[in-house]
């Protein structure tokens, strides 16, 4: 019997999640049954969807999310002892998972060719697949076009901007600090602006005098409305997230964008990355190749320790991370 710890969400979040919304529970894991594996978790991911999905499930619930770990005991021959795996069992140090369960979402760690294993919850995990398919399948950028991405210095945004550069586009990013913007330019972004201090409408007119062809929207809100209002005819918008609204219930739920949609004949499409679940490996292979060849850079914001997952989570929601926010257990 293994003693394990996990985070439980005790009550719905109101605004920014509070420490007392969570409880760390110690429990004994039972012996594994046929089809199950016991996993020692080494990396835990903190992501905005953990905020956005709260309220859709009755509380209490185990905090879900992707993690990376090693199989310690196995009654599934596909996942022998020692195998590195990704699971969706959330914020825990040990867990029992079943690869046949849709919610446990167990899969073998891709061959990372020597890259950090934590990338399996970042650029070579769900956020990387989100960037890859959202940009390439919905925006479909062509060489020479102008791509704008918000949340540009985060897990998804950094990958979006760098793929757009690889595809020969001009790339403009928006992020929340001057330091993040400087870093984005060091990654090859043509321009990066601090949305908290600039007049977005003005800087966009200067940076994209011929207009915007593709917009990868991570944040929603007024910034997105400004960007969409400056798009070219037949522009494409991939709506990935709306983090500006996750903790702020005072925002209006809609802005009048129809005028631009009609006269510019825009395509605006929301998506969930699971739409391409069967093809994530295609994205991972390309992204690993780009990282190994130096065309793409990755950065992680690492928090140490199981007890600090809550701090990592709210820190990420408040913009403390540059690159992917992860916790080393
Ligand atoms: P990030 O690594 O980008 O972290 C979140 C970032 O959001 C923060 O660092 C902060 O950076 C920014 N932020 C916080 N509040 C605001 C605000 N009010 N306005 C603008 N930016 C804000 O997270 P991810 O890359 O993991 O996720 C980015 C987006 O993608 C989220 O909206 C998420 O929900 C979405 N997503 C959607 C998926 C899908 O399938 N559709 C899958 C995965 C993610 P800053 O300093 O710039 O403010």
Domain with 260 in it: what CATH number?
A: 3.40.50.720
On whether residue 92 sits in a domain, the answer given is yes
* Angle, vertex CA 184, rays to CA 183 and CA 188, nearest 5: 115
User: What is the pLDDT of the chain when averaged over all its residues?
Assistant: 97
Query: In angstroms, what is the span from residue 175 Cα to ligand 1's centroid?
Result: 10
Residue 55 pLDDT class (50, 70, 90 cuts): confident
**pLDDT for residue 256 is more than 90:** no
Q: Is the CB of 300 under 6 A from ligand 1?
A: no
Q: Same domain for 166 and 204?
A: yes
Ligand 1 atom 19 nearest Cα: 244
Q: Are strands 231-239 and 170-175 parallel, antiparallel or unpaired?
A: unpaired
Q: Is the CB of 243 under 6 A from ligand 1?
A: yes
Q: Same domain for 14 and 106?
A: yes
Ligand 1 pocket, mutate which of 48, 134, 155, 321 (most atoms under 8 A from CB): 48
Q: What is the DSSP string of 228-281?
A: HTTEEEEEEEEE---HHHHS-TTS-S----HHHHHHTT-EEEE--GGGGGGGHH
Position 49 scores a pLDDT of 97
Helix (H, G, I), strand (E, B) or coil at 208: coil
Q: Same domain for 234 and 264?
A: yes
**pLDDT for residue 255 is more than 90:** no
Domains contained in the chain, number: 2
On whether residue 290 sits in a domain, the answer given is no
222: nearest Cα among 252, 192, 261: 252
User: Which pTM value belongs to this model?
Assistant: 0.98
**pLDDT for residue 252 is more than 80:** no
Q: Same domain for 303 and 269?
A: no
CATH number of 36's domain: 3.90.180.10
* 144 Rama sector, left if φ>0, alpha if ψ -120 to 50, beta otherwise: left
pLDDT tens profile 112-140: 999 999 999 999 999 999 999 999 999 99
Q: Is the CB of 122 under 6 A from ligand 1?
A: no
User: How far, in Å, CA of 135 to CA of 164, rounded?
Assistant: 8
Q: DSSP E strands: which ranges in 46-195?
A: 61-62, 67-74, 84-87, 94-98, 107-108, 146-150, 170-175, 191-194
On whether residue 286 sits in a domain, the answer given is no
Q: Is the CB of 135 under 6 A from ligand 1?
A: no
């Amino acid at each position: 019997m293994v003693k394990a710890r996990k985070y439980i969400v005790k009550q719905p979040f109101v605004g920014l999640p509070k420490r007392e919304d969570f409880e760390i529970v110690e429990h004994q894991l039972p012996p594994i049954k046929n089809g199950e594996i016991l996993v020692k978790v080494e990396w835990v991911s903190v992501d905005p969807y953990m905020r956005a999905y709260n309220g859709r499930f009755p509380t209490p619930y185990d905090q879900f999310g992707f993690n990376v770990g090693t199989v310690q005991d196995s009654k599934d021959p596909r996942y022998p002892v020692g195998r590195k795996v990704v699971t969706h069992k959330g914020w825990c140090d040990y867990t029992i998972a079943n690869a046949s369960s849709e919610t446990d979402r167990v899969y073998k760690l891709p061959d990372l060719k020597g890259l950090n294993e934590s990338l399996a919850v970042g650029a070579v995990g769900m956020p990387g697949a989100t960037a890859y398919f959202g940009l390439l399948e919905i925006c479909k950028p062509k060489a020479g076009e102008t791509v704008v991405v918000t949340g540009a210095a985060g897990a998804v945004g950094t990958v979006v901007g760098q793929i757009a550069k690889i595809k020969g586009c001009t790339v403009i990013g928006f992020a929340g600090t001057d330091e993040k913007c400087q870093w984005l330019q060091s990654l090859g972004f043509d321009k990066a602006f601090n949305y908290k201090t600039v007049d977005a409408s003005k800087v966009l007119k200067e940076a994209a005098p011929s207009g915007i062809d593709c917009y990868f929207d991570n944040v929603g809100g007024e910034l997105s409305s400004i960007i969409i209002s400056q798009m070219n005819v037949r522009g494409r918008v991939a709506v990935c997230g709306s983090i500006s609204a996750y903790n702020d219930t005072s925002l209006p739920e809609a802005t009048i964008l129809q005028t631009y949609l009609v006269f510019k004949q825009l395509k605006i499409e929301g998506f969930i990355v699971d739409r391409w679940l069967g093809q994530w490996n295609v994205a991972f292979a390309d992204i690993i190749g780009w990282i190994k060849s130096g065309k793409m850079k990755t950065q992680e914001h690492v928090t140490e320790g199981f007890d600090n997952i809550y701090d990592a989570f709210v820190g990420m929601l408040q913009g403390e991370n540059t690159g992917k926010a992860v916790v080393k257990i």
